[in-house]
Chain A
Amino acid sequence: MTEDRPHTAAFPAIVTAGVDGMLVRFADRLSEPANRAALAFRAAVEAAGWDGVEETSSSLVSAYLRFDPLHVGHETLRARLTELLEARDWYETDLPEGRRFWRIPAVFGVDLAPQLGDAAKAAGMTEAEAITSLTSARVRVQTIGFAPGQPYLGELPEAWDIPRQSALTTRIPEGALGLAIRQMVLFSVATPTGWQHVGQTAIRLFQPEAETPFLVRPGDEVQFHEVGADALEQMREDPMGGAESEPIP
């Protein structure tokens, strides 16, 4: 395992993921170029529409393909991936088109987000300083994963390089804003988690019946602004939870 060298000869690397999957890794730690490479490469695989490929996705720094190994052999697919990898420098690709900038209201601290105090302390800030820091950060959706439409947002200032909790929170609610390791997760479902619960929003990120079931996409940018608990309660009537978005030119 390498440390801070996403561009070494070790990457990009094609590895098998079970009998019916292949993973193209662009780094073994998060970096902006590797994140862009993963997004762009996955889009290119989708666009190629190869026979036998059944599903693709990207995570922070890799692209994944699920395929039918009885229809297209591992060696064939690996050769295709190698050829596509060599077609360009994927670390130099642009972010996806059609990105949006989201402004999302959130309550910070109080009983709705009880771990703000702990997280602020770990980051060496007062609660007020923490709120100022978190609401002035414009973060990017690095990946969608774990649960439907759930974004991983980053990167926060260095002070926020705080660990996940060793003990899990039994249940963090939908719309919760969790924080750890200079990232935030905006939870789309209630779940157990090790992320620190610092904020609470009323946004429903996954709306199965809506024309656009998944609200945010990788590459989108997000900024939170503070509202009171009463205001948030009223926003719950709106599935958007008071969030607004505009295209990024």
Chain B
Amino acid sequence: MTRRLIIHRAGPGVTLQDLGRPGWLAQGLSRGGAADRVALAEGAALLEQPVERAALEMAGAGGEFEAGEDMRIALTGAPMRASVDGAQLAWNASHLLPAGARLSIGAAQGGNYGYLHVGGGFATEVMLGARAVQNAAGLGAPLRAGDELPVGADDGARTGMTLDAENRFGGGAVRIIESFQSRLFDEAERERLEATELTRDARGNRMGVRLEPDGEGFHASGGRSVLSEVIMPGDIQITGDGTPFVLMSECQTTGGYPRIGTVLPCDLPRVAQAPAGARLRFRFVTLDEAVEAERKARDARAGLTRNLRPLVRDPHRMPDLLSYQLISGVTAGDDLA
């Protein structure tokens, strides 16, 4: 009986993530952390524990997991098909994962990154101030079959709770703000960016996401080379061929491509979660509007706990209820492709 999660099978992009490690930017190490920080907040609210606790981030698909002892779990982010011993589990909800039961999490049904949270959080060794894996920097590695993760003590008890997650899993409108290189692009080019539909390219990961514009690419006027300058997640880099590339949580810390704008931090999860083929559109907002948007987003995160409600025992939603399925003994067991 140990407090751990055993990984029997894992998709290629399952990594431990938290809020990342600020403070190393000057040493060339970006903050990193979860691609969708809202999902971390939702998981923390569902389990009524601090947002700093580390969770499993599952890119595209999950895997098969087993708890060493009874454990509370929560599922957030990109909805994925999940079941325990064949009984389906509701997404955006907390559940009890009994010791020895098999938790199966399949492919994302919208969005990219799903999250598996555990009561007490994962208690792996802290590396440079955080548990987040930063693959590009060689800090930790994606999980593989046979790995076991220690889980911290859980001081909560409640499960069977749900909340309404903001739908950020299918692209849409993304607010951006001018940054210090935006004026390298003339006004017509900036206006054209707002008017252009962009398609999320299949080439995208925790470092950056490529967006294919409808029509021509974008070009800085004069095409002068810019001095390599600090990069932050959300920056929209225009690469040599004119394609916008949004830098994500695990991006490099400096870069020489000009940046036409920066995605608001509160809208970055929408970019991270836009699946390949999803349509996105950028809209410039003023600094004041941006600050106000961040304030609203912070208040919404802080209010998640107030919006918790029990999973309803609606007969139409019975398959969602772990407790019901365990009692009834009904198992499907066929939802793993």
Contacts and interface: CB of A to CB of B under 8 A. Distances in A.
B22 interface: yes
A19 B127 contact: no
A80 to B, nearest CB: 17
B38 interface: no
A56 interface: yes
B15 to A, nearest CB: 15
A189 B26 CA distance: 16
A143 B254 contact: yes
B162 interface: no
B248 interface: no
B180 A147 contact: no
B23 interface: yes
Interface in B287-317: 287, 290-291, 294-295, 298
B291 A148 contact: no
Given A16-B179, A18-B177, A56-B26, A146 B136 contact: no
B196 interface: no
A60 interface: yes
B180 A19 contact: no
Interface in A28-72: 28-30, 42, 54-62, 64, 66, 69-70
A146 B252 contact: yes
Contacts of B229: 23, 59-60, 62
A135 interface: no
Interface string B87-111: 0000000000000000000000000
Contact of B23 (A16, A30, A55, A64): A55
Given A23-B180, A59-B254, A147 B291 contact: no
B232 to A, nearest CB: 6
A226 to B, nearest CB: 27
A16 B78 CA distance: 32
Interface stretch (B27-35, B68-76, B115-123, B153-161): B27-35
Contact of B28 (A21, A28, A149, A208): A149
A148 B28 contact: yes
Contacts of B25: 55-57, 64, 66
Contact of B265 (A1, A17, A19, A143): A19
Contact of A214 (B27, B264, B290): B27
B291 A60 contact: no
Interface in B224-249: 224, 227-230, 232, 234-235, 240
A54 B24 CA distance: 11
Contacts of B137: 147-148, 189, 206, 208
Interface in B185-201: none
Interface string B262-274: 1011000000000
A222 B29 CA distance: 21
Given A56-B25, A57-B230, A208-B128, A20 B265 contact: yes
Contacts of A61: 227
B234 A208 contact: no
A20 B240 CA distance: 27
Contacts, number: 125
Nearest to A64: B230
Contacts of B240: 166
A115 interface: no
B298 A70 contact: yes
Interface string B136-148: 1111000000000
B294 A148 contact: no
Given A18-B232, A42-B26, A69-B291, A145 B253 contact: yes
A201 interface: no
Contacts of A99: none
A20 B232 CA distance: 10
A18 B180 CA distance: 8
Given A145-B28, A148-B28, A17 B262 contact: yes
A200 interface: no
Interface of A: 1, 15-21, 23, 25, 28-30, 42, 54-62, 64, 66, 69-70, 73-74, 143-150, 152, 166, 188-189, 206, 208, 213-214
24 contacts: A1-B224, A16-B178, A16-B287, A17-B180, A17-B232, A18-B232, A18-B235, A42-B26, A56-B25, A57-B25, A57-B230, A58-B26, A59-B230, A64-B25, A66-B232, A69-B294, A74-B291, A143-B254, A144-B28, A145-B228, A148-B28, A149-B27, A149-B28, A188-B28
Given A20-B294, A29-B227, 10 more contacts: A17-B232, A21-B232, A54-B22, A56-B25, A59-B229, A145-B230, A148-B137, A149-B27, A188-B28, A206-B29
Interface of B: 22-29, 31, 127-128, 136-139, 177-180, 224, 227-230, 232, 234-235, 240, 252-255, 262, 264-265, 287, 290-291, 294-295, 298
Which 9 pairs across A and B sit closest by C-beta, in order of nearness?
Answer: A145-B254, A18-B262, A57-B26, A57-B25, A19-B290, A148-B29, A64-B230, A15-B180, A214-B27
